[in-house]
A and B are shown apart, each in its own frame.
Chain A
Amino acid sequence: MTATATTQRPLPVPDTLSTPFWAAARDHALHMQRCDSCGHMAYPPEIACRACGGDHLHFAPVSGRATLHSWTVLHEAPAPGFRDRLPLILAVVELEEQPGLLMSTNLVDADPAALRIGMPLRAWFENITDQCALVQFRPAGR
């Protein structure tokens, strides 16, 4: 253990690019960065659009509907702050708005044995601290 060791879950430190994303999450809204020129969406936020090179990008709300792209199940905590959350499902989800728009997240309220690629998911926000809410996903319809 180092001097910085913590038992807290790591919290995002917003920066110039990501501040609007985390501010929206605090309001329990999922926003994705969208290119003004071509409409391509990016996550995590980018400085310029990878599809067309345009540098006018703005955050816009998305539906929070997604499908399961892949997942893994952890039975040991990846960091001290996760000890009370095991087994932890780490998931990659594909947002409904754009093929290939992937997001790393957690699945909650899900049975690891029942997971299937393509299963429908819904975004759900968890307040981690007064200042931070994280977007998580759960099976749609639950």
Chain B
Amino acid sequence: MWAHRNKVAVAGVGYSKLERRSGRTLAALTLEACDAALADAGLLRSDLDGIATSPSMPRYGGRKGVDEGIDIVTPWYLADLLGAAGRVQWIGSTNGMVTQSLIDSALAIIAGLCDHVLVYRSLHVPEGRYVNFDTAHAVGTDQYLAPYGFSMPPAWAAVVLRRYFELHGYDRRDFAHYIAANRANAQRNPHAYWRGKSLSEADYIDARMIADPLSILDCDIPVDGCCALILTSAERARHLRQPPALLTGFAASAYQGASGTPMNLEDMWSGARALGRRLWDMTGLTPADVDTAQLYDGFSVLVLTWLEGMGFCRDGEGLGLLRDGYGDLDGKLPINTGGGALGEGRLHGMTQLAEAVAQVTDRAGVRQVPGGACALATISNGLAKSTAFLFSRDS
């Protein structure tokens, strides 16, 4: 078992407004979220001595984020904006997912490098279509995908969903209950992009196809915005404004799986299973100990591969369980209680982390799961760069 179990805590959470296309710069949105997180914790900018993110700007076929403050916000730039550049002891900037930054930040605190670390994720929606491979040159890994039109992540996820449906005898109607209930969760979350816009099962079944059988409602919504977390030691957190969300353990993966396609069902199960084994070994807990599961849902199908891979049920059973209400707010295992990325907006796992924190600190308001003492958060698709976290309530 991990020696530093429950020794690091999330002490504050902050959001900017999440908008489809904000008229404000990404830097301004980032500052708004970071100041909100500091205020939530009861800290000042002058308390920060660590800062971390994964500043990448994913885009397919066009310009990838290059303009500081406009479509990326690196931690060095943000440190300057916050007036913390002279004080920051440690900076993390990872490739892959921002959640790797969360692990790095926890370790920096354990190592004594810093006391209060800001972990944030800023994302920008470029002009035009988000996915549109409008260059004639397919270089690097794109050369094996883009000439076939396989240059869009929704298509990568669609072949996984198709295989899941075909192998296990499901179709989109089986997903409708979960998707509608997930959107209902978003109605109870003041940060959610889709707050105020409910969704019926029929809306889902009739939704516009992006890559059949994956519809627009199976994809998270790209937004301009930022979410930020403040990490500190559990000991220090107990003297701050909010109850601490204790980091019980985590797991990360470098498992690539078969190449030739960016995602495939069997490898996502295998990757999630490997992450699960590490997480349960590190924490001494099991799926039965989890009260809420915040499962990454950049695409709806990922909820299934995480649910099954992490060991809550057998492969292929997940969708039947969701259809029957297993993941509902009052179900056996409430899933994505804040609406997830599908309902809250694309922030690459920050929605999952922020909701896990809210649930174990009794701050989820009308969507609070009674007795929610242990929350799982999983991020990405189960393959390399994926992470999983357990957060616990302070007793």
- Which A residues are within 8 Å of any B CB, using their own CB? 1-2, 4-6, 8-15, 18, 42-44, 46, 50, 69-82, 85, 88, 90-92, 100-106, 112, 116-117, 128, 134
Report the 8 A-B pairs with minimum CB-CB distance, sorted nearest first. Answer: A102-B260, A72-B158, A12-B143, A79-B133, A70-B159, A70-B163, A10-B146, A78-B149
A1 and B128 in contact (CB under 8 A), knowing A42-B259, A106-B148, A134-B147?
yes
Minimum CB distance partner of B139 in chain A: A13
Contact between A117 and B149 (Cβ–Cβ < 8 Å)?
A: no
Task: Provide the bound-state CA to CA distance between A76 and B210, in Å.
Answer: 8
Contact A78 B133 (CB under 8 A): yes
Kindly name the residue among B163, B212, B259 whose own CB sees the greatest number of chain A CB atoms within 10 A: B259
B137 touches A10 (CB 8 A): yes
Q: Does B28 sit at the interface, judged by CB under 8 A?
A: no
Contact A78 B138 (CB under 8 A): no
The reply to whether B134 and A2 contact each other, CB–CB distance below 8 Å, is yes
What's the count of A-B pairs with C-beta under 8 Å? 148
Which of B132, B137, B145 touches A104 (beta carbons < 8 Å)?
B145
> Do A10 and B136 touch across chains, with their CB atoms under 8 A apart?
yes
Give the residue of A10, A82, A116 whose beta carbon is less than 8 angstroms from that of B138.
A10
A85 to B147, CA, bound (A): 13
Known: A5-B134, A71-B162, A90-B155. A11 touches B147 (CB 8 A): yes
B104-151 contacts to A (CB < 8 Å): 128, 131-151
Which residues of chain B are within 8 angstroms of A76 by Cβ–Cβ distance?
A: 210
The number of residues on chain B lying at the interface, defined by a beta carbon within 8 Å of a beta carbon of chain A, is 47
Provide a sorted-by-A list of 7 A–B residue pairs whose CB atoms are within 8 angstroms. Answer: A6-B134, A10-B138, A43-B260, A70-B264, A72-B211, A74-B211, A91-B159
Spell out B's residues near A (CB within 8 Å). 61-63, 128, 131-152, 155, 158-160, 162-163, 166-167, 209-214, 256, 258-261, 264-265
CA distance A12 to B144 in the complex (A): 7
Q: With A78-B133, A103-B260 in contact, is A117–B163 under 8 Å at CB? A: yes
Q: How far is the CA of A112 from the CA of B61 in the complex (A)?
A: 27
How far is it, in angstroms, between the C-alpha of A14 and the C-alpha of B139 when the chains are bound?
Answer: 7
What B residues does A10 contact at CB under 8 A?
61, 133, 135-138, 142, 146-147, 151
Residues of A within 8 A of B134 (CB): 1-2, 4-6, 79-80
Quick check: B163 and A4 within 8 Å, CB to CB?
A: no
Residue contact A104 to B150, C-beta cutoff 8 Å:
yes
* Given A43-B259, A72-B214, A104-B144, also A79-B151 (CB < 8 A): yes
Question: Across the interface, do B148 and A104 meet the contact criterion of CB distance under 8 Å?
Answer: yes
Residues of B within 8 Å of A1, CB to CB, are 128, 134
Question: CB-CB < 8 A to A8: which residues of B?
Answer: 136
What residues of chain A lie closer than 8 Å to B158, measured between beta carbons?
72, 90
Greatest chain A CB density within 10 A among B134, B139, B151, B214 is at B134
Judging by beta carbons under 8 Å apart, are A75 and B209 in contact? yes
**Cα of A15 to Cα of B159 in the assembled complex, Å:** 28
